[in-house]
Copies of this chain bind each other. A is one copy, B any other.
Amino acid sequence: MAGYTELKREAYEANVALPKHGLINLTFGNASAIDRAKVVFAIKPSGVDYDALKPDDMVVVDLDGRVVEGRLNPSSDTPTHRRLFLAFPEIGGVVHTHSSHATAFAQAGIPIPIFGTTHADYFNGEVPVTRKMTPEEIASAYEWETGAVIVERLQGLDPADFPGVLVNRHAPFAWGPSVAKAVETAVAMECIAHMALMSLQLNPDLAPIEKPLLMKHFKRKHGPGAYYGQKAAG
């Protein structure tokens, strides 16, 4: 089982990055990293303080939801992470927070409108919001069904174009090729939610960013034509 050391460290680093970025209210929030070869993911234990967290506290779970390694209960949101890993085979990590500004949009059931280039650097459009869950979904396997409404909302969209979502009445989820990138997207969601709220105060009828500028910025960072960062540096 020594094979999970690196995976647990990756999940641990992402989890402790969340309070460092100011994304955690109370103990809400969790991050997970998947090893696609071994078909397991490492996730935060439930209700443990971030201060006390150690890499070895991470719980390793398989895609059927069975604990493979770990002494603690996995996060109660584990089935949501599992549902996303099953539906989006290209993602390597999932992050859930209750960050204040993004959660304010989620609670109101309102997508984060795309007003500027900061947003367009991360999302290829507004940040989507799920439909409300039915009483039946809530009464049954609630956390699994939370994942299911996210997957339903992403239907027809590329999870690389829309690397996060607001769960209605609840809070944001983010994902990405790695859990570290999912953390960055969670930071971006909080930041663009804050700025959108203020832009809306300045102009409640503000139109979304114009398409050519949106595409320019999104593609500056994503896909074959990307030229931001050091990847192409000589």
Question: Which A residues are closer than 8 A to B by beta carbons?
Answer: 25-26, 28, 45-48, 71-73, 76, 98, 100-101, 103-108, 110, 115-118, 121, 132-133, 135, 138-139, 142, 169-171, 184, 187-188, 191, 194-203, 206, 209-210, 212-213, 216, 220, 227-230, 232-233
Q: Contact: A118 with B209, CB < 8 Å?
A: no
With A47-B228, A229-B47, A230-B45 in contact, is A107–B73 under 8 Å at CB? Answer: no
Contacts of A135 in B (CB 8 A): 210, 212
With A171-B118, A195-B107 in contact, is A138–B26 under 8 Å at CB? Answer: no
Q: Contact: B230 with A48, CB < 8 Å?
A: yes
A100, A121, A171 interface centre (most CB from chain B within 10 Å)? A100
With A46-B229, A47-B228, A73-B230 in contact, is A213–B100 under 8 Å at CB? Answer: no
Contacts of A200 in B (CB 8 A): 201-202
Contacts of A228 in B (CB 8 A): 46-47, 76
Q: Which 8 A-B pairs have the closest CB atoms?
A: A47-B229, A104-B198, A107-B116, A107-B115, A135-B212, A73-B233, A108-B202, A108-B199
